[in-house]
Each structure stands twice: as C-alpha cells, then as structure tokens.
C-alpha cells in the first residue's frame, strides 16, 4: 500500500490486477498440485471479484471448463427475508456475470438457532419451487 500510495480498496484492486497479470504462473503452480478438486478462495468483497475483468481473465487461464462458483451465504444476513433474497440476487448476478455454474452454501450455520436454520432452509426450498410462494 505504501509503495503505490494506495488505500485498502485500491490495494485490493491492484492485488487482483497483479494476480491476473501473473495468471499463467499461478495456473502452472495450481495445475502442478494433485487432487481431484481444488477450491480457490477469492476476496470476500463481491464487487472486487465479480465486476473486474481480471477475474474473467483468471478464470480463462485456470480453465473455465473446469470451474464453478461456491457462493457462501452469510448466516446473520440470511435470517431475514430481505437479507436472504439479497444474497440470492447477488449470487445470481455473479453467476450471470462470470458465466459459471454456481452453488449456494450457508456458511457458519452453527451460529444460527435451530428455528432460524429451519426457516432459511424452508426459504431455500421454496425458491426451488417458486409456485409455492416465499413468505
């Protein structure tokens, strides 16, 4: 940050762009690892990953045909209908923007009361069957 005279947001953008510029080297190192499945964690700020062209470049170099998105839902935000739907919309935007299959997962579900978890699971099921209504 000091070297480039950037604040936290600018530093994250620069880091993402520098990573994309080194995508070939990153891909070589990742492909050298063994295993059937590899999960690459990206920054938690959705706009940094979803709306920068650097992300599409990185996906292409790593192998778009082998990629998918795991979208993590925040458990506290998921407790209200508006928070849950907001996360569904963000997940859909990321899926549409990056053109990758996407699966949503509720992170840290152990932080929720059993009743809250049941409510969230019910909303999730209703979204699979929209004719049943939502709230």
Domain ranges of the chain: 1-67, 73-135
- Phi/psi of residue 74, nearest 5 degrees: -75, 130
d(CA 90, CA 6): 27
Looking at residue 129, what is its pLDDT? 53
Residues 67, 12, 8, CA angle at the centre, nearest 5°? 155
Nearest CA to 71 among 118, 39, 106? 106
Looking at residue 5, what is its pLDDT? 84
Looking at residue 80, what is its pLDDT? 93
pLDDT along the chain (135 residues), means of 10: 82 85 90 83 77 87 89 94 92 92 93 95 76 52
* CA 120 vs CA 53, 87, 98: distances in Å: 33, 12, 26
Looking at residue 58, what is its pLDDT? 87
* Entry pTM: 0.79
């Amino acid at each position: 940050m000091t070297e480039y005279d950037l604040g936290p947001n600018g530093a994250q953008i620069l880091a993402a762009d520098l990573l994309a510029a080194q995508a070939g080297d990153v891909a070589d190192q990742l492909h050298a690892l063994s295993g059937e499945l590899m999960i690459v964690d990206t920054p938690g700020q959705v706009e940094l990953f979803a709306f920068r062209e650097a992300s599409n470049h990185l996906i292409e170099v790593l192998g778009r045909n082998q990629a998918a998105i795991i979208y993590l839902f925040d458990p506290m935000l998921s407790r209200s209908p508006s928070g849950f739907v907001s996360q569904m919309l963000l997940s859909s935007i990321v899926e549409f923007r990056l053109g990758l299959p996407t699966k949503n997962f509720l992170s840290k579900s152990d932080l929720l009361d059993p009743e809250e978890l049941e409510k969230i699971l019910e909303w999730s099921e209703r979204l699979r069957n929209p004719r049943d209504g939502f709230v």
